[in-house]
Amino acid sequence: MSEDKSITSDELQRLKGLSVFEEQAYHNGCQYIAGLDEVGRGPIAGPVVAGAVILPRGFTLAGVDDSKKLTAKKRNILAREIKKQALAWSVASIYPPHLDHINILNATRLAMTLAISHLHIQPDYLLIDALKLYDIPIRQRDLIKGDSRSISIACASIIAKVERDDTMREMDSIFPGYNFSQHKGYATREHLENLFDRGPCAIHRRSFEPVKSLFAGGNNEQQPGLFDQDDIKCFNPGRAGAKSK
């Protein structure tokens, strides 16, 4: 792949530094390297989302970095370009209540496993942000803070973050009154005030505090039968969803 001539020399050097682990894998005989990352382990509402990306060798895209370091506008621009240039990409989501049933760590691993399975190219090596996938028979390497050390993981983090943010904006229209589009399910002061005022909804995580205590007998009187409402079928809570190329 030819280098983008518009990238400055300093940015090109930074991107080459982000590609060290990928190049090591290529030198070890690997052909299709998938970077994996998750978004949404910490919120008290909404899904955990995993992204998987297989980039062409020599991939360079100015601005790629850990998604947490980027503005929403920059993430959206980069996500579109990553999807355009990637050999393959996929995102997968695990929603409550299934997330609560299997716990957040296992939900994260399941989301990553599903993301891999939806890639139309089978990877022969995985670079994963801080996790091992023990049930996947593919060579892999877990990297602490991998989204700031590997270009593949960084790209996976960007598309996963954009996907989850878009999902939470959709959830805001389905479950109004919590302002999910603003805080994306994290336990901000506003979110907690709305939670205690209105009680939990279908995408709140029962295994996370303070939602757990509310379901155990706190202030959720306004929510009887909420998990049986027809309007939650559009996103199939408790099941996995995936998008891919």
pLDDT of 230 over the 50 cut: no
Provide the phi-psi class of 11: left if phi over 0, else alpha when psi is between -120 and 50, else beta.
alpha
CA distance 43 to 184: 8
Going across the sheet that includes 88-94, the strands are 140-143, 125-129, 33-39, 48-54, 88-94, 240-244
Buried b (16+ CB within 10 A) or exposed e, 43-71: bbbbbbbbbbbbbeeebbbebbbbbeebe
Burial tier of 119 (Cβ tally within 10 Å: 0-12, 13-18, 19+): buried
**Which tokens belong to 53?**
């990306």
CA distance 4 to 238: 42
**Extents of the domains making up the chain:** 9-165+238-244, 171-235
* Residue among 170, 208, 201 nearest 186 (CA): 208
Which pLDDT does position 218 carry in this prediction? 55
pTM: 0.88
The answer to whether the CB of 195 falls within 8 A of the CB of 210 is: yes
* Residue among 113, 100, 110, 94 nearest 239 (CA): 94
Sequence length of the chain is: 245
pLDDT of 244 over the 60 cut: yes
Asked which of 82-91, 112-121, 183-192, 217-226 is least confident by mean pLDDT, the reply is 217-226
CATH classification code of 9-165+238-244: 3.30.420.10
- Tell how strand 33-39 and strand 48-54 pair up: antiparallel
Averaged pLDDT, 121-150: 96
Strands (E), the chain: 33-39, 48-54, 88-94, 125-129, 140-143, 240-244
pLDDT of 38 over the 60 cut: yes
CA distance 179 to 167: 13
CA distance 231 to 60: 42
| pLDDT tens digits, 72-97 | 999 999 999 999 999 999 999 999 99
Burial tier of 76 (Cβ tally within 10 Å: 0-12, 13-18, 19+): middle
**Which tokens belong to 16?**
């080459």
pLDDT of 2 over the 90 cut: no
Share above pLDDT 90 across residues of the chain, in percent, rounded to a whole number: 84
Crossing angle, helix 151-174 and helix 20-27, to 10 degrees?
120
